[in-house]
Structure 1
Amino acid sequence: MDQERITSEMAKCLGWYTVSSVYGETINLPCRLDVPQNLMFGKWKYEKPDGSPVFIAFRSSTKKSVQYDDVPEYRDRLSLSENYTLSISHARISDEKRFVCMLVTEDNVFEAPAVVRVFKQPSKPEIVSKAPFLETEQLKQLGNCISEDSYPFGNITWYRNGQVLQNTDGVNITFNKQMDPVTQLYTMASSLEYTATKADIQTPFACSVTYEGPSGQDTVYSEQEVFDIYYPTEQVTIQVLPQKHAIKEGDNITLKCLGNGNPPPEEFLFYLPGQPEGVRSSNAYTMADVRRNATGDYKCSLIDKKSMIASTGITVHYLDLSLNPSGEVTKQIGDALPVSCTVSASRNATVVWMKDSARLRSSPLFSSLRYQDAGNYVCESALQEVGGLKKRASLTLVVEGKPQIKMTKKTDPSGLSKTITCHVEGFPKPAIQWTITGSGSVINQTEESPYVNGRYSSKIIISPEENVTLTCTAENQLEKTVNSLNVSAISIQEHDEPDDLSDENREKVNDQAKLIVGIVVGLLLAALVAGVVYWLYMKKSKSASKHVNKDLGNLEENKKLEENSHKTEA
C-alpha cells in the first residue's frame, strides 16, 4: 500500500480531521484554530513520508502580506485567505498528505493538522475483446471488463442475467490493476472465461466497477452484452418448398434440410427414392419439372452423423386425358360416331363436356348424326384437390350432307298472289337458284331465312295468269339437287301445301305417324289371327260334315234295304 493510502488509514485510526476532495477540483483546507490576539503570522506546511516538514504558504498578520514558498509541486496552485484557509487548485493524487495550519505568537505556536483525501470516479466499465461466440461444453474467454482513471482503484464484478458470477466450475475470473505513473490513476481489468449452455441463448452478460467516492461506495455498470451460443445439432428436419397443398407434374420443388444446431449445418446428404447412396448438397436440393415417377420417400442426414436423419413423402399428382377422335372430324349426316374421353389420374378427377362454350349434361353420343350435332366439343378434366391441374382436348365436328329439297306453295287470302317456298337441307350451305317456265311475274325479290342447323329456305311471290312450273336448284360441294312444282293460275283454286315442319313439329308428326302405323299393324295382326282361327274352324267343320254325311248315308242305305226287304216279303 502506498504512503498516501497509509496516511489516509492513519487519519481514520487517529481521528484526524480529513478533507475529501475530487480529482481535478479545488481542495479547501480551513485552519481550525481560533486566531489569538497577539498573532504574528500564520503558516501552512505538509509532512513528507519521513515526517520532515515542507512549508508552502506564509501570511503576516501585521503586514497583511502573503508569501508562497517555492515548492514546484504547488507552484501557482495555492491561495491563503485572511482567515488562513488554504486552497489548492487542480487536486492531484499526490495531494493526499497531512497538512498542518500553524498560528505563531511571540510566546507560542498553535497547530491544527488536516488530512487530504482525493477521489476519482472511474470511467464506465466496458466489455472489450468480446468473443464472437461461445460454445457449449467448452471453457472460452467471454471478454475483458475494463474501467480506467480510478482512484482509489475499484473492484470489478461480472453478472449473468443480473446474477453475480463467481469462480466455480465453468467460470474463471481474473483481476488486475495498473497505475499510471504520472497521474497515479488506476486502470482495472477483469477477464471472464465461461462455459456456455443452451440456457445462455439470448442471456445478457455485464460487469460493474465498485469504487470509493467522497460520499462512500458507489457502482457503475457496463452495457449488457448478448453472445451467440454455438451448440451441436440434435435433430434434423426436412421440408418441401414451396409449401403448398399438392405437387403436380411440371412443378419445381426444393427439398430443404435443417439442423437445429447453431450454427446450422451447411451441407447434408440427400437420399432419393431407390438410391441407397446419398447425394451431398447444400441445405437445399432442387428438382425441376418433376414427373410422376418422382413420387416416393425422400431423406436427408448430417454428413458426419448419418444416423441423424429425417424423411418426408412426396406425391406428384398427374392427369392424362385422351379424346378419340380429336381435332377436326368430318362425317356425313346419318353416320354413327363413337366418341370417348379417357382420363387417368393420381386421384379421382372430374370430367366436363362443353359444346360451343355451353356445358353439356352428359357425354355426347352420336348414333345418327344430325346437322345440329356439328360444333366444337371440349372434354375437360381436373383434380379439384390439386390447384391448376387441368387437361382438355377438343373435337371440331363437321356434319356434311347432300342438298335435300322440299317445295311448298301457299295462296294469299286475297287470291292475288301465291308464295312458293323452297326448303333446303345440306352442308356446306347449298346455293339456291330459281327458274320459272310459263308466263308470270315475280312480285318481289327472293327472300331467304337464316341458315340454322343445316337448313334454310328461299321463297318468291308470284301472280301467274296461267299455269307455270317453278324449279328450285340447290347445290353445294357434294351434289346438285333439283325439284320442281307446278303452280296453277291465280284464277284456279288449289290445295296449299304446308310449309316445312320445324324439328319439334316434325318429331311430333313422326310420333303420330308411328302411333298410326302401330295401330294399323295391330289391327292387321288381329285380323290375321282372326282369319287363321276362322280357317281352322272351317276346316274342322268340313271334316265333321263329311263324317256326318257318311253316317247319314249309311242310315239311308239301311232304311232302303229294310224297305226293300219288306216289299219282298209282301
Structure 2
Amino acid sequence: MESPSAASRCRRRLPLPPVLLLRLGWLFSALCLRPGHGLHTVNTVYGDTIILPCHLEIPNDLMFGKWKYEIANKPSEFIAFRSATKKNVQYDDVPEYKDRINLSENYTLSINNARISDEKKFVCMLVTEENVFEQPTIVKVFKQPSQPEIVSRAEFLETEQIKMLGQCVAKDGYPQGSLIWFKNGVVMQPVDGTVIIYEQTNVDKASGLYTLVSSLEYKATKDDTDVQFTCTVTYFGPAGQETIRSEPVVFDIHYPTERVKIEVISQKNTIKEGDNITLKCSGNGNPPPQEFLFYIPGEPEPIRTSSLYALIDVRRNASGEYRCSLTDESLMDSIIITVHYLDLSLIPNGEVVKQIGEALPVSCTISSSRNATISWLKDNARLRSIPSFSSLQYQDAGNYICETTLQEVEGLKKRQILTLIVQGKPQIKMSKRTSTDGSYKTVACHVEGFPKPAVQWTSTGGVINKAKETKYINGKFTSKVRIAPEENVTLTCIAENQLERTVNSLNVSAISIPDSEDLEEKTDDNRENVSDQAKLIVGIVVGLLLAALVAGVAYWVCMKKSKEVSGEHEKEAAQNIQNLPRSASKHVDKDLGNIEENKKLEENNHKSEA
C-alpha cells in the first residue's frame, strides 16, 4: 500500500475529469489508496459470526463502499458493494462467501459460520469522487480442541520393562496446541530408557482443524501402583492461553513375587484338638501367584495346591513346622503350629460302692500341652483340698468332680466324676426320756446305716405303728415312739437294710412307779435349762454393770446398810434349813433307783453292739 504522498502524486499524474477519475479509481484502488486509522484485529470462535466494523469515518461526498480480502501472493478479491446514493447492495460471486455475508448501512461486514479459511486480512473501502479510503482488519479464528483422552491404553504395566502406556489425543483444535503428560500431577519429561514421548499432528484438509496425538512409552516400578496418569492440551483462545486436562487413568502394575508368607486362618488365637484350621500361603507379587507347594509334617512329598490348605479335626501330632513355597521352590516361608491338648485321668471314677471304715485311695492326674491346675468339687461345692479317704464315713458319700482347664486355650476343659457310695450295716443305740409333767415317756432308737434301714418297733403288747423319724443325714437318723405304760414293758427296735437286720430292746417302767427314770428325766431337763440359765447370768452381769455406775455415788451408804442386811439374811437362811420338806429324801432314794436302771440299759446296748 502506498503512502499518502504517493497517492497524491498518483492523482497529479492523472489530470482527468471527475467521472473518468471515479471509474479509474476502482481500477487502481489496490495501488493508490487513502489509508485509514491503523490495523484492527477481530478474534472469532469457530462457527460463530464474524463482525467486521469499517472503522472509517463516512465522508459527506461518499459514493459507495466496498469490502475485499487480501491473501499474500494473490490478487485481492472483492466480496461486497454498497452504493451510498442508490442504497443498493451487491455481493460478488465468490463461492467461499456465498450466502454467508451481509453488509449493513454503516458498512459493517458480517460473515456467518466462521471457518478457518476466514482467517485473512479484510479491507473496508470508502470511495468519494476524489479519494479512496481504506481500513484493513485482521481476522483470527479460534477453535477449542476436544478434551484430551488417553486411548490405546495398556492392560497393565510391567516393572523393568518399557512399554507403550497409551496415546493422548486432542481433536479438532485451532490454532495448533500442545500436549503434556503428567504423573500424579507432575510433568513427565523424556528420560532415556524410562520415558519416551512421540508427538504427531494431523490436519483435516476440509476444515483445517488440528488433531494432536502424543504417545507415551514408560517403564514402571512398584511405586507406580495406584498412580494417576493424565495429559493436558494447551491452546490459544480468544481470551488467551487455556488448558484442558484428561480424565486420570490408573494402571495395574505387574511385578514379580519377592516374598512368600504362610499364615493360619482361624477365628481363635489358639488351636486345640478337634479344631479345623486353614493354612494360607501368599506372595507379594502382582498378579499374586495362584499355586504353591505346602510341606506338611509327616507327609513325604510337598502338596501342590492353591493358596489355601485345610486341616480337619487336628490332633496333637499335627503340631510342628509347616512351610510353603512357590512352585519353583525359589521362595519359602514357615510357621510353627501347636495343637493344644488336655487329658485327665480320675482313678477310680464312675460309681464306686465301699463299706464304712474302708480306705479309698483317689488320684486325679493330667497331661497337657501347657501347665494346668486341678480343682475339686463335691456336690457342686468347691473343695479346698484333695479328697483323701483312710476310713470312709457316711458323710464322705457324694458326687466328686475333678476338673482342669487351660486358661490360655478357649474351650479346652476336662472333668471326670466319682460317685462314691458308702454302705454300712445298721447300728442301733436306744435311749428314753420322761416328759416334764411325767405323763409319758419317749423312747428313741438311734440308727446308722446305708442304704437307709427300715425301722420297726415292737413291744410286749405287739407292733407299734406311731413312730416318728428325724431327717436321714450322713447315714444317721432317729426313730422315736411315745408311750405311757401302766406297767413295766419291753420295747424292741428292729433296723434292717440290704446288708443286715439288727435288733435292740429296752425295758421301760410304768409311769406310776418312781424309778431312776425320773432322775434321768430331770437330768435331761437340767441340760435343757443350761442355756436358759446362761442367758439369765449374762443378763444379771449386764444389769450389775449398769447398776455399778449409779451405786458408786452412794457407796458409803450401801456399805453401812449392808452390815444390817447381812445379819437378817443369816437368820432367814437358818430358818429355811430347818423347814426343808421331807420330799428331798425321797428324791435321793429315787436317784439311787435310776442308777440301777441305767446300768441295765448300758448292758443291753453293749449286747446289741456285740
What corresponds to 1:214 in structure 2?
238
Inter-partner Cα distance in structure 1 for 2:451 and 2:267: 55
Inter-partner Cα distance in structure 2 for 1:35 and 1:276: 109
User: Residues 267, 326 of structure 1: CA spacing in aligned structure 2 closer, same or farther, 3 A cutoff?
Assistant: same
| 2:490 equivalent among 469, 474, 487 | 469
Inter-partner Cα distance in structure 2 for 1:255 and 1:454: 59
| Pair 1:453 & 2:477 matched | no
| Pair 1:250 & 2:250 matched | no
| Pair 1:55 & 2:86 matched | no
Give the deviation of 1:394 after TM superposition. Answer: 0.7
8 Å contact from structure 1 (residues 252, 290) kept in 2: yes
Write the deviation string for residues 209-234 of structure 1: whole angstroms up to 9, x where unpaired: 11122233222222333322211111
Write the deviation string for residues 332-377 of structure 1: whole angstroms up to 9, x where unpaired: 2222222211211122211111111011122211222111111111
Give the deviation of 1:16 after TM superposition. Answer: 4.9
Give the deviation of 1:415 after TM superposition. Answer: 1.1
What corresponds to 1:98 in structure 2?
121
Determine helix, strand or coil for the equivalent of 1:378: strand
* 1:10-25 → structure 2 map (5 Å cutoff): 16-25=39-48
* 1:73-88 → structure 2 map (5 Å cutoff): 73-88=96-111
Structure 1 unaligned regions, length at least 5: 1-14, 500-570
What corresponds to 1:401 in structure 2?
424
| 1:494 equivalent among 503, 516, 524 | 516
8 Å contact from structure 1 (residues 382, 389) kept in 2: yes
Write the deviation string for residues 458-501 of structure 1: whole angstroms up to 9, x where unpaired: 112111111112122222222222222111111232244999xx
User: Residues 488, 118 of structure 1: CA spacing in aligned structure 2 closer, same or farther, 3 A cutoff?
Assistant: same
| 2:197 equivalent among 169, 173, 177 | 173
Q: Aligned-pair RMSD on alpha carbons?
A: 2.3
Give the deviation of 1:403 after TM superposition. Answer: 1.8
Determine helix, strand or coil for the equivalent of 2:241: strand
Inter-partner Cα distance in structure 2 for 1:323 and 1:357: 17
Write the deviation string for residues 408-444 of structure 1: whole angstroms up to 9, x where unpaired: 11111211110111111112222222222249x98x9
Query: Percent identity, aligned pairs only?
Result: 66
| Corresponding letter in the other structure for 1:371 | Y
Determine helix, strand or coil for the equivalent of 2:330: coil
| Corresponding letter in the other structure for 2:492 | T
| Corresponding letter in the other structure for 1:454 | G
* 1:379-528 → structure 2 map (5 Å cutoff): 379-438=402-461, 445-492=466-513, 493-495=515-517, 496=520
8 Å contact from structure 2 (residues 39, 135) kept in 1: no
* Matched pairs, number: 482
Determine helix, strand or coil for the equivalent of 2:516: coil
| Pair 1:273 & 2:297 matched | yes
Inter-partner Cα distance in structure 2 for 1:473 and 1:182: 134
What corresponds to 1:153 in structure 2?
176
Inter-partner Cα distance in structure 2 for 1:243 and 1:423: 62
Give the deviation of 1:128 after TM superposition. Answer: 2.4
| Corresponding letter in the other structure for 1:486 | N
* 1:338-357 → structure 2 map (5 Å cutoff): 338-357=361-380
- Calculate the TM-score normalised by the size of structure 2: 0.75
Give the deviation of 1:50 after TM superposition. Answer: 5.7
Determine helix, strand or coil for the equivalent of 1:289: coil
Determine helix, strand or coil for the equivalent of 2:63: strand
Determine helix, strand or coil for the equivalent of 1:94: helix
Give the deviation of 1:246 after TM superposition. Answer: 2.7
- Calculate the TM-score normalised by the size of structure 1: 0.80
Inter-partner Cα distance in structure 1 for 2:306 and 2:339: 23
Structure 2 unaligned regions, length at least 5: 1-37, 525-610
What corresponds to 1:31 in structure 2?
54
Inter-partner Cα distance in structure 1 for 2:220 and 2:267: 36
Write the deviation string for residues 19-55 of structure 1: whole angstroms up to 9, x where unpaired: 2111122211121323222111111122467623433
8 Å contact from structure 1 (residues 127, 144) kept in 2: yes
What corresponds to 2:579 in structure 1?
none
What corresponds to 1:503 in structure 2?
none
Give the deviation of 1:188 after TM superposition. Answer: 1.6
Determine helix, strand or coil for the equivalent of 1:83: coil
Give the deviation of 1:179 after TM superposition. Answer: 3.0
Inter-partner Cα distance in structure 2 for 1:129 and 1:350: 71
Inter-partner Cα distance in structure 1 for 2:516 and 2:215: 130
Write the deviation string for residues 179-228 of structure 1: whole angstroms up to 9, x where unpaired: 33443322222121110012222322211111122233222222333322
| Corresponding letter in the other structure for 2:266 | P
Inter-partner Cα distance in structure 1 for 2:198 and 2:93: 46
| Corresponding letter in the other structure for 2:516 | E
What corresponds to 1:259 in structure 2?
283
Inter-partner Cα distance in structure 2 for 1:479 and 1:185: 125
Inter-partner Cα distance in structure 2 for 1:356 and 1:346: 29
Determine helix, strand or coil for the equivalent of 2:317: helix
Inter-partner Cα distance in structure 1 for 2:90 and 2:496: 146
Determine helix, strand or coil for the equivalent of 1:39: coil
Deviates more, 1:58-67 or 1:289-298: 58-67
